[in-house]
Structure formats: structure tokens, C-alpha cells
Structure 1
């Protein structure tokens, strides 16, 4: 067992997890964080630095670091890698022109030694926009399959919906990816239900081996 794995197991016992949320600019990272926290999303400005939100779930404190994605500040992402338990990558599924850039940035990020072993959750966001690629299409474009041997990962479609859409969280998103034929414990597929809980996804993300 590596040192990072030992540290993560200790942190789980302490009930505190650090989640890094990144992605290209305008992918919807801040909106997702605010929705999870039940906050107003009517006025959102580009994140030029970072925001930190803490949510409570099953006696765990999940500290979400929402980091800006503008090209000029991506080189500073490395400043936030320390002690990351889970990585959330947010994709604007409708911004087809920048998907190659999105793939390159993601794979460069995953090469970082300090993120080795961190589970990956990909939000294929903005599924409600006409022309947006489906989660399975995003997975192919991002070449996520190459990580099967060395990293737990999951991709889900996301589009903000009213809070009543999810009964087990203060807010929720419609699950837009196809129903999975495998168990919901398979990180490569979303839960087999009409809607998923962001709380459950984030919790599942940071509690992987």
C-alpha cells in the first residue's frame, strides 16, 4: 500500500475529505457547487481564483475546492493538488470546439504525481443544451478508458433541475446517461435511477480504495 493510500484511509477515519473541482472556463463548475450547497445561481461571475464550499454528508465533511479554468490561470492548478482525495472534472458538453483542449488539459492533470490514485468524477454538464454530446460520447472524446487499470472513474450527465428532482439531496440533476447494465458500484456508470444525488456521487468518489 502506498503512502497516499495510507493517508487517505486515515483521513476517512477523521471524516474529512478534500475534493478538487476543475475544468475549462465556462464549464459550469461554480454552478454545480452552488447547486449542491443549495445556494442561488441566478448571478455567477467567472472564478478567477478559487472558492471553497463545505458540505456535510453521512458524518463526513466534504471540502470542495472550485478552481477557475481560464487558460491564463491553469498553470496555477498545481497549487491546489496537495491532499486531494477526489477529483471532479467538469465538461461543457455543448462546447464541441474545445473538447480537444479539454481532453489535453485533463490528461495533463492526471499525470501529476500528487493526484495519483485520486478517483475521478466527470460531469458531462449542460446536457439540457441542444447539440450537447451525451456522456458516453464525452467519455470517448476524453479517452477515459485508458484509465481503467490505474484509476477509479465515473462519468455522469448533468443539467441543473429544481430541487424536487432528487429526494435524497437538497438539489439534484437529471441523469442523462443511458441506464447502466452493471451494478451502481461500478464507477464507470451512474446509479440505476431517474436522478442521482450529487452528495452520493461525491461521497462515493472519495471513499474508493
Structure 2
């Protein structure tokens, strides 16, 4: 009974924040989601559709939708946009060839009416890999300085070790009181 009351209370107090986790296939989205949830690496396979989990950080509830990133699925991302407060864009820092596609998808999302109030967290994932791009390089390539109508933050991370993920969540948590 207490769980039902807590769920209802969080619903009426609007304390649950919808998050979509997007990025190209093999960027590390699902690994990041389950690192948040269980603080461990789980073996994943390509996401067809979505995974959804509730993550609680300092009494702040995030409902996280991990959406498949294969090319054939990206056109359906917009079906998840309604009521989204946060976009987590996961970038594979080793995938220089497809960074232009990540940029294109980011700006397409930011132009969508349903995401006009969403804050953006970019995870520069796979920082443990040799030859990866730094968060500063990704920032420059994505021209993040041109994003004026959405709060954003870029964070280096490694989904496998969890390094950097907490800093990203802390940024999101700090934004919840500003909405």
C-alpha cells in the first residue's frame, strides 16, 4: 500500500521526470541505462524498440526511455518526445565517421516542438578507448555553443566502468528545480 501511495504522490507532485536516451546504434545507451540502474555492466544486444527503467537520484525520479538507435528506428524517435524533460544523447567517441549523423539527429530533435523545453545531456562515451575523441572535440564538432534555447551539458564517460555517469546525473538533478 505504501508503494502505491508513493507512486500516486510522485505523480501528483510531478516529481517524475521523463528522459529519453538516444544515440546511434552501438553508442552505449543500454549499457549506460543499466549502469544507472544496477551499477554494473550487463550484456546487451541491439535494442529494438525501447527499454524503460525508473532511476532515483536523491529522491528525484527519472523515467528513462532507452530508444533503439539503428537507422531504421530513428524515424520513430519522435513518438517518445511527448512530455520529455531531458534528452541524453550518447555519442560513441571512437566513431568519427558517424559523428555527422549524431549531429544531424541532435539538431532534428532540438527543432521538434515536443522537445522545445528539454534539457540536453551529451555523454561522450567510450573515453577508455584508444584514439577516442575528447569531450572538447565532440563539443566543437557538434557546435554545441550554437545551442541557445536548450540548457545542455557534455560529459566524458565510460559506460563500462561508470566513470562520468554520476556527474551527468548530478547535472540533470540540478536542472529539475529550475523547470
Query: TM-score, normalized by length of structure 2?
Result: 0.87
Question: What per-residue deviation string (whole Å, max 9, x for no partner) do you get for residues 92-146 of structure 1?
Answer: 0100011111111111111101000211000000011111100011011111111
Which structure has more RCO (C-alpha within 8 Å, separation ≥ 6)? 2
Match of 2:132? 132
Distance 1:47 1:207 in 2: 32
Partner secondary structure for residue 84 of structure 2? coil
Distance 2:118 2:56 in 1: 20
Gaps of 5+ in 1: 1-10, 163-171, 176-194
Match of 2:48? 48
Match of 2:117? 117
Q: CA deviation at 1:84?
A: 0.4
Distance 2:128 2:98 in 1: 18
Of residues 171, 175, 178, the one that matches 1:201 is 171
Flag the structure with higher helix content: 2
Distance 1:135 1:112 in 2: 25
Gaps of 5+ in 2: 1-10
Partner secondary structure for residue 51 of structure 1? strand
Distance 1:130 1:32 in 2: 20
Corresponding pairs, count: 170
Distance 1:79 1:145 in 2: 28
Q: CA RMSD in A?
A: 2.1
Match of 1:89? 89
Report the CA distance shift for 1:20/1:79 in structure 2 as closer, same or farther (over 3 A). same
Is this contact kept in 1: 2:118–2:150, CA < 8 A? yes
